[in-house]
Amino acid sequence: MASSGTRDKAGALAPPPVAAPPRVGEQIQRLRNERRLTLDDLSRAAGVSKSMLSEIERDKANPTIAVAWRLTNALGISLDQLFAQQKQTETIRVAGPHEIPTLSGDDGAYQLRVWGPIELAGKFEWYELTLQPGGALVSNAHEPGTREHLTVLHGTIEIDASGTSKRLKVAETARYAADEPHAIRNVGRAEAKALLVVIHV
């Protein structure tokens, strides 16, 4: 079967082109301009330094999840909307690894890869959660009726929800109410990974 890849001058298969990462800074700048806010205005409203905001808008720096959260709140949008991409017209839309938004904790203790499409944000969301040893994703209460479903892919993870704690091993799934404060912790000695599904009602 013939390969569909392109070949270089020596006849070797050339690697496929790498998709550009989402331009978060460009999106923030566009939203700020639409709202007729200056850098100073957004800096004060979000509690983010003007120099950091300028770096982010010029795509010289990537915001942490905490900074992204402050900026989206100040701009009046959800965190998911910040990563909205233009709708594609292909019958099969393939997203490259660099098109998947990735959010990191301030201390690098956890990382969330946003696998769910933007049009389902606020209804049905799924993420790949990576936790470093001792790391935790601690969340405030979501909207009433929200539930989370977490399946451990690697490592040992503990769930704190509804005043109780449960320890999970690989291939085990926890389902719990997320409309009150809850936490997902890596209690093992190695990196842990999990599939996290959030369902809003």
Examine residue 12 and state whether it is found in any structural domain, yes or no.
no
% of the chain beyond a pLDDT of 90: 51
Which residues does residue 128 pair with via DSSP β-bridges, in sequence order? Answer: 113, 195
Tell me: do 79 and 105 sit in the same domain.
no
Residues with Cβ within 8 Å of residue 39, at least 6 apart in sequence: 32, 50, 53, 54, 57
Query: What's the structural domain count of the chain?
Result: 2
Q: pTM for this one?
A: 0.57
Per DSSP, what are the bridge partners of residue 176?
148
pLDDT of residue 88: 40
43 found inside a domain: yes
Residue listed under structure tokens 């929800």:
161
Per-residue pLDDT tens for 154-171?
Answer: 999 999 999 999 999 999
In a shared domain, residues 101 and 195? yes
Return the closest-CA partner of residue 131 out of 92, 157, 99, 106. 157
106 and 177, same domain (yes or no): yes
> Which CATH number covers residue 195?
2.60.120.10
The whole domain housing 68 covers 24-83
Query: In b/e form, how buried is each residue of 24-40, taking b as 16+ CB within 10 angstroms?
Result: bbebbbebbeeeebeee
Say if 101 falls within a structural domain.
yes
What are the pLDDT digits (tens) for 22-44? 668 888 888 888 888 899 999 99
* Shared-domain flag, residues 131 and 187: yes
Beta strand pairing call for 182-186 and 136-139: antiparallel
Query: Of 40, 61, 83, which residue sits at a domain end?
Result: 83
Q: Is the pLDDT of residue 100 over 90?
A: no
pLDDT (0 to 100) of residue 64: 84
Q: Within this chain, do residues 109 and 187 fall inside the same structural domain, yes or no?
A: yes
61 has pLDDT over 70 = yes
What is the pLDDT at residue 163?
Answer: 94
